Amino acid sequence: MAESLSQPSVEAAEAWITTPDGRLYARQWGGPVNDAARPPIVLLHDSLGCVELWRDFPQRLAQSTGHAVIAYDRLGFGKSDAYPGQLGPDFIQQEAHGGFAALTDQLGVDRFIVFGHSVGGGMAVSIAAAYPDRCAGLITESAQAFVEEQTREGIRMAKAQFAAPDQMGRLERYHGNKAQWVLDAWVNTWLSPAFAQWCLDDALLAVRCPVLALHGTEDEYGSSAQPERIVTLAGAPATLKLVQRCGHVPHREQETAVLDAVNAFLAASV
């Protein structure tokens, strides 16, 4: 059961992570990060996201679970430095060896639970596959496991909406002068013919930790075939949780349901 809002607040600490391509901004709630019994939960944001756009969910997650929670802005997003160039077609699996590797190394994180939203969920799968001896649990939320026409259509509709000046202004509020790059990286990558055959199949087969796949029943960017593929192919026990009356952002739209599901998963599996 998720903790109530009356629980004591969890203070956040900021950190800057150095990579060969630039600095990453990170924030941590709770602690410590080297607790073997309660490994930290590392959050990976979506295609337009950043630390700030998680809002108060990381703090609520730390309060509710008792685990430290770490979120960071990937290179090119939020407060992190600009990305040098364009995303390659392998950007999802490469995050495991780039920003995520630098983050865990410089913060002294050994074992971890990885929690990814949308494309961050695909990165979380790739991270669990890359570090089978260190990843204690994998949680995906609204993740894409393959390129579905529903996903592409949702992106086309969002691209049209971002033609309005006020919408781009909203992105600039979080990403500054990187906002256009953030939008283009999302739209151009996912709608590219070269990306049409992308999938997580190989990475899922290499996962060795327990898996929780969360997905909203009204998700505009992917059908239930996405989490079904995750739990079917995962190389470890996997649970599918469909969040009722919910779109693409369950941790915002149905926060209590997400926290309850995460707590039940941690109690049973990690």
Q: Where are the domains of the chain?
A: 12-269
**pLDDT tens-digit series, residues 27-81:** 999 988 988 889 999 999 999 999 999 999 999 999 999 999 999 999 999 999 9
Average pLDDT over residues 87-107: 96
d(CA 217, CA 230): 16
CA 158 to each of CA 88, 150, 151, 152, 248: distance values in angstroms, whole numbers, following the listed order = 22, 12, 11, 10, 13
d(CA 124, CA 118): 10
CA 10 to each of CA 7, 28, 61, 116: distance values in angstroms, whole numbers, following the listed order = 9, 10, 10, 21
Choices 3.20.20.70, 3.40.50.1820, 3.30.460.80, 3.30.950.10: CATH for 12-269: 3.40.50.1820
Residue pair 12/62 in contact (Cβ under 8 Å)? The answer is: no
Task: Report the predicted TM-score, pTM, of the whole model to 2 decimal places.
Answer: 0.95
**pLDDT tens-digit series, residues 168-196:** 898 999 999 999 999 999 999 999 999 99
d(CA 61, CA 27): 14
User: Among residues 180, 229, 182, which one has the least CA distance to residue 203?
Assistant: 229
Predicted pLDDT at 108: 96
Q: What is the CA radius of gyration of the chain?
A: 17
Average pLDDT over residues 203-231: 98
Among residues of the chain, what percentage have pLDDT more than 70?
96
